[in-house]
Chain A
Amino acid sequence: GQNIDQPTEMTATEGAIVQINCTYQTSGFNGLFWYQQHAGEAPTFLSYNVLDGLEEKGRFSSFLSRSKGYSYLLLKELQMKDSASYLCAVRDQDTDKLIFGTGTRLQVFP
């Protein structure tokens, strides 16, 4: 089976850096996705990691350690518009099943 854990809520200050963690247990692993979802809207794609290491894309970076079953999303220079839910999803190696964690709701304060 698969189990994906994320913190439920986080808060941060505008201009700061925040790290959102995701731990997973899967029978077969073929990549991990991060999405941003604003209230009432569909998720939008942020990043995809399949190999260990850090991938940077502007203010957002994502890290993966397959041996530890661990990923994080790093958001730099936080802006008010970054207040949203952040979803971690794991792709199964054999079936292409895409399973989501419950998401982390981030609130950015001035």
Chain B
Amino acid sequence: DGGITQSPKYLFRKEGQNVTLSCEQNLNHDAMYWYRQDPGQGLRLIYYSQIVNDFQKGDIAEGYSVSREKKESFPLTVTSAQKNPTAFYLCASLRGRGAFFGQGTRLTVV
């Protein structure tokens, strides 16, 4: 069953801790993306990657880091430097005419 999977669906983090969000796809898509969505707002681009071992900053990369060691995987780390990390995080992958999202991870700082 092909698709893009994010885990976990809900995540709670204490202030000062780093946390890693998982994103895996088996669609053989080259490009992958991470977005942040705040309540009632649009999607803002954090990082994106066109190929393995290469990635680019989006509009709001500060306080986040990524890696792209495998085509299928594009994990996002929310570091303690991110001032306001509570948000809905969405991962997407793209190839040709198709760009699809995972189900999202809702991160809450407690």
Contact = CB atoms under 8 A, between A and B. Distances in A.
Interface in A89-110: 89, 91, 95-103
A80 B99 CA distance: 26
Contacts of A50: 97
Given A43-B90, A101-B42, A103-B42, A96 B31 contact: yes
A103 B79 CA distance: 28
Interface in A39-89: 41-45, 48, 50, 87, 89
Chain B residues touching A, majority SS: strand
Nearest to B31: A96
A63 B13 CA distance: 43
Interface stretch (B61-69, B70-78, B100-108): B100-108
Nearest to A50: B97
A100 B43 contact: yes
A98 B56 contact: no
Interface string A7-44: 00000000000000000000000010101000001111
Nearest to B100: A45
A48 B42 contact: no
11 contacts: A42-B103, A42-B104, A43-B43, A45-B100, A48-B97, A48-B99, A89-B43, A91-B99, A98-B31, A98-B33, A98-B94
A76 B5 CA distance: 32
A44 B100 CA distance: 7
B48 A102 contact: no
A99 B42 CA distance: 10
